[in-house]
């Protein structure tokens, strides 16, 4: 049910349907909010993959030196990026054009370039916080949180851009 754009304030319809109207007045906003929620779910699961991988590298494979810890961080970032790209492509941005072959490779490269800003920031922060003696898992968590803000915008605007004109629903 689509309600008219304007409901008379104080009217019975306004009181009954205002919550529905507010939620459904702009379908595009709803899709954007849903996309942010999916992005956060995928991002949290990718962060868990990242935590698991860096823990395996450092604790099980004994990447204990300063250099090896930073190498473990870089490896964990890229491995979780492959996971993140795969899930983001089929779930978060499922309405984006599905690229295949060389175009898919190009999209994956674009995804990695978009990640580069966050990755560079995370690598720099990780090295600085490691020098300061911050526990490596807290270090990773801080980097992921900061990079996530940058990543969403870049994914939405450059990597998974949807074709066609945007339709205004009024």
**Nearest one of 164, 143, 170, 166 to 43, comparing CA atoms:** 143
Structure tokens belonging to residue 161 = 């851009």
Listed range (25-29, 57-61, 124-128, 143-147) with the worst mean pLDDT: 25-29
CA distance 128 to 4: 55
Residue 163 has pLDDT above 60, yes or no: no
Distance (Å) of CA 85 to CA 20, 40, 46, 58, 104: 34, 13, 10, 24, 11
Q: How many C-alpha atoms does 161 have within 13 Å on its Cβ side?
A: 10
Question: For residues 44 and 169, which has the higher predicted lDDT (pLDDT)?
Answer: 44
Average pLDDT, the chain: 80
| pLDDT at res. 147 | 82
Residue 126 has pLDDT above 50, yes or no: yes
Residue 135 has pLDDT above 60, yes or no: yes
| pLDDT at res. 162 | 63
CA distance 143 to 94: 27
Question: What is the arithmetic mean of pLDDT over 161-169?
Answer: 51
| pLDDT at res. 3 | 44
Listed range (83-97, 122-136, 151-165) with the worst mean pLDDT: 151-165
Residue 17 has pLDDT above 60, yes or no: no
pTM above 0.85, yes or no: no
The predicted-structure confidence for 80-111, as pLDDT tens digits, reads as follows 989 999 999 999 988 887 777 778 888 888 89
| pLDDT at res. 4 | 47
pLDDT band at 10 (very low <50, low <70, confident <90, very high): low
């Amino acid at each position: 049910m689509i309600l008219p754009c304007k409901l008379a304030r104080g009217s019975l319809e306004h009181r009954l349907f205002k919550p529905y109207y507010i939620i459904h007045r702009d379908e595009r906003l709803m899709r954007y909010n849903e996309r942010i929620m999916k992005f956060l779910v995928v991002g949290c699961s990718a962060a868990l993959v990242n935590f698991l991988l860096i823990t395996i590298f450092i604790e099980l494979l004994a990447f204990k030196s300063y250099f090896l810890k930073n190498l473990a961080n870089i490896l964990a970032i890229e491995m979780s990026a492959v996971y993140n790209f795969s899930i983001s492509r089929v779930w978060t941005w499922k309405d984006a054009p599905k690229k295949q072959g060389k175009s898919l490779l190009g999209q994956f490269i674009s995804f990695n370039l978009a990640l580069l800003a966050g990755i560079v920031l995370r690598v720099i922060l990780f090295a600085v916080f490691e020098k300061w003696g911050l526990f490596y898992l807290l270090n990773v968590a801080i980097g992921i949180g900061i990079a996530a803000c940058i990543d969403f915008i870049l994914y939405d605007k450059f990597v998974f851009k949807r074709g066609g004109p945007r339709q205004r629903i009024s």
